[in-house]
Structure 1
Amino acid sequence: MAEPKSIIVTGCSSGIGAYAARALKRDGWRVFATVRKTDDLAGLEKDGIEALLMDYRDEASIFALTQEVLSRTGGRLDALFNNGAYGQAGAVEDLSTAVLREQFETNFFGWHTLTQQIVPVMRRQGEGRIVQCSSILGLLPYRWRGAYTASKYALEGLSLALRMELDGSGVFVSLIEPGPIESRFTANALDAIRRNVDVEHSVHAEDYRRQLARLSGTGKKNPHKLGPDAVYKVLTHALTARRPRPHYLVTKPAKQGTLLKRVLPSDLFYRIMRSLD
């Protein structure tokens, strides 16, 4: 019997990562799922998943993860799904440089460090898949999400350059760009804005109050929000297709937004984007 294909999935304590880890296990993959907190290991292990600690902000934990996984697999890895991230909300003028750096450490630099450890492994094998869970905000700008948008724009550029550099190696890089997905992402964004933004003394205080109401679940709900299974559907294509696509848009708003950006005059498009809350 052939060995099951192996994959690292990051950010598996909840949301997209937790769903993907369990679905991949169900579909026959050997899954190495990462979380940042010890308390989150048991639930994954109970479902037969090899759960490990890793924090994108801690390079030592990334190196330890890759060494452990490769020691268990005999030096092979078929796929990497970079997923763990958070969204720092807040107007650009209200975010300190330290807060912006923290956003990039988790959403960008840590992803690069892990990916850089895996690329040589896949090159030696002559095959492999690297899938980045980006965001529609890696393609379209959005008010009050400048830090998160910047980190995802950076991820898009780096990943597409890597895809081109790996051409002919048998290793493919794909980006998934979800719109609104059911997860703990919103709750984490709420914590981040309360922790890092002086809401009451900002010129945007009224806008923040409206945003906080929405994030806390008391404001207007997004009717287009999908479950994490929508992301898994395109993830399986990126992992198994003979030639996976560079981009996978998920949710109606994501698809509509990119279409409008292509067909509308830029000034009109950005006016429309400014009107979104």
Structure 2
Amino acid sequence: MLSWTILGNNGVCPGYVLCQLFGLGSETRLTSTWLPGPYAIEVGQYDNEAWLLNVHAIDTRGTVDPLGCLECRCDLYNITVGEDGRPIKDGYKGGLLCCYDGVHCQLKDGYVGESRTYYLQYTVHYLDWSDSILPVKIYIFDSTYEGSGCKVEFDVSSCSSQNVSTSECTLMQESVMEVPIGGDVIYGVSHQHAGGIGGAIYGQDGREICTSIPLYGNGTEVGNEAGYIVGMTTCYPEPGSVQVMSGESIRLLSNYSRSISHTGVMGLSYIAVYPHSEAGTL
């Protein structure tokens, strides 16, 4: 019998939730993902090791509500049963459960789109392993974590039009998660959907570890699509200048605008950590 094991990242959601090393959305083109030398992600430690690329593509051409389709609103997909055949729970308005392989979003009357073939090109830079390379651990923090697990996605309700310019129109999704093994923070970035206005992670003592701000497109050309997050700012601290401790409680804050409602959004933060004995514990 063929057996396999997901290697994935080093935490911190329980189980295999958010087990990817990297996960990007529309911000892919303008978000830096490189690790500065001599740091790297170690792969190839096991026989028959393979990489998995999971692509989630949504066709919004001719749809009645492109943003609603991107946010996987269940009513627009006419979905009441999940991919596993079980009914979707009451109150679930939109998200991954209504956006699985093969489903289609509602089209405008009379629209017939032409078939297209799309290609994805990406580049992986790698080196043969040597003692000069310093392996990092990848941690993904989820703003929906509540002690027993990571929900991954959440909804954003709209605020009153009279309060658009006030703090009442900002949703602050917050969680606290522990660092498994501490060390130097080498890289940091957040992941948000449309409506996001920034994410940040803080140490147990309140110090800022990384703040990541979305860049929105304002045109029609590829990589600058209006209304989409086309990039996220990243953090590259000077090695040794920002550390996290083993067992330290990390506070993640993901902010969203409530000027309109959103479904199935995410608030994640990634950090790459080089562990060493000086990182200490809490």
Query: How would you bin the TM-score normalised by the shorter chain?
Result: under 0.3
Which structure shows the bigger proportion of residues in helix conformation?
A: 1
Of Structure 1 and Structure 2, the greater strand share is in: 2
What's the TM-score once normalised by structure 2's chain length? 0.27
